[in-house]
A and B are shown apart, each in its own frame.
Chain A
Amino acid sequence: EAQVTQNPRYLITVTGKKLTVTCSQNMNHEYMSWYRQDPGLGLRQIYYSMNVEVTDKGDVPEGYKVSRKEKRNFPLILESPSPNQTSLYFCASRAQTGSYGYTFGSGTRLTVV
């Protein structure tokens, strides 16, 4: 089944403790992206990647890092999480050509206390 898999689904952590949210896709998509969803703000793009070793900042990159060492994986790293990073996070992927709609993962609910 074609899908984007994020782990974990739920995470509660403390301020300052480094964490990584993993994302993997099995569709051989070139483009991958991370979004956060907050009430009243919709989905905002954090980082995106157009292919292996090619990443760029989205609209809200502060406090986040990403890497794209393999085509299928695009982990989101929070080096020193803060409470304002409490949010619902989505990873997504799409092919470079053809349909331009991203396929989204099921989400990661992160709480930073």
Chain B
Amino acid sequence: DQQVKQNSPSLSVQEGRISILNCDYTNSMFDYFLWYKKYPAEGPTFLISISSIKDKNEDGRFTVFLNKSAKHLSLHIVPSQPGDSAVYFCAASVNSGSRLTFGEGTQLTVNP
């Protein structure tokens, strides 16, 4: 039972344009959501997070949106850069606890 799903295995965008990565979840108990970025041969790196009491969190070029009624979150990257090319994972937890449930990941490719 995949409680966190990223339905797009891959996404390709042009440099300078917006990248939108999507994530859906089924467990209504999740109240904290995170995005991680992963380059080949490296561990995932924490990118940005959002609590369920908010619907938007912004950090530089990265913005995460949360739609609790739809159980959906998205990561927007504006403008996209070639260095953003990586696998992006969304993750969720209950009570900001130690258990973290990840999605399958989306490979983002930003073309120069």
Contacts and interface: CB of A to CB of B under 8 A. Distances in A.
Secondary structure at the A interface, as helix, strand, loop or mixed, is strand
Contact of A104 (B44, B93, B98): B44
Contact of A43 (B32, B49, B89): B89
A100 B34 contact: yes
A31 B9 CA distance: 30
A110 interface: no
Interface string B43-87: 111100100000000000000000000000000000000000000
Given A106-B42, A106-B43, A42 B34 contact: no
Interface of B: 4, 6, 9, 32, 34, 36, 41-46, 49, 89, 91, 93, 96, 98-105
Interface of A: 4, 31, 33, 35, 40-45, 48-50, 58-59, 90, 92, 94, 99-107
